[in-house]
Amino acid sequence: MSTLPISVPVTDTHLPYKGRVAMFTLIAAESAIFSIFVVAYIYYIGQSLSGPTPREVLDLPIFNTIFLLSSSLTIMLAERALVRRAMGNFNLFWGLTILLGAIFLIGTGREWYKLITVDHLTISTNLFGTTYYSLVGLHALHVIVGLILLTAVLVFSLMKALRPEDTKRIEVLALYWHFVDCVWIVVFTVVYVIGR
């Protein structure tokens, strides 16, 4: 295999970081999956033949939402700290992100506990139950996966095992976390605002 002499100018574009492209692609796939659950939710609004209705049993999860959306802010601050190699700050904000995410999950858990034990709404009760638990549950599952990954990174950081090359990888993970928060905005709007 030979190359031509360098006198002819070579078109050389700076190619994007593969982790970022892959994450965007993954986000596209996940968005498609969530869209189907959202469409099902919307389609079945008001269609349940019996059982509790959203208006009767759902309260606006204001605090939970504030916690989760703030975690996007804290993760951004963590990323900034990481770029500056201010690892103390990074650990602080990253840890805060995890904490906020965990609080969100606990809040969801408490909401579900109330729905199941007090309102007797389960996934098999009616169309509302099926679509609600599926959509909110799918989101919560993504939060759990995110928290696991975030925690792993925190552990690596506390062990002082993070190298400069890992910065862009961590930024890609943060991208996933932002996606999870965006999905919550959609879920919140569809389930707690439109659907009630």
Binding site for other proteins (CB under 8 A): 1-4, 8, 10-13, 15-18, 21-22, 25-26, 28-30, 32-33, 35-37, 40, 43-44, 47-49, 122-124, 126-127, 130-131, 134
C-beta closer to other proteins: residue 40 or 73: 40
Question: Shortest gap between Cβ of 5 and other proteins (angstroms)?
Answer: 10
C-beta closer to other proteins: residue 15 or 193: 15
C-beta closer to other proteins: residue 51 or 107: 51
The two tokens of residue 146 are 């995110």
Question: Shortest gap between Cβ of 18 and other proteins (angstroms)?
Answer: 4
C-beta closer to other proteins: residue 27 or 87: 27
- 193 and 44 Cβ atoms separated by less than 8 Å: no
- 60 and 192 Cβ atoms separated by less than 8 Å: yes
Which helix (H) or strand (E) segment holds residue 57: the answer is: helix 54-57
Question: Shortest gap between Cβ of 185 and other proteins (angstroms)?
Answer: 19
Tokens 């993760």 -> residue: 75
- The 8-class DSSP code of residue 148 comes to H
- The 8-class DSSP code of residue 188 comes to I
Alpha carbon distances (Å) from 192 to 62, 65, 86, 88, 137: 10, 11, 39, 38, 15
Question: Shortest gap between Cβ of 187 and other proteins (angstroms)?
Answer: 14
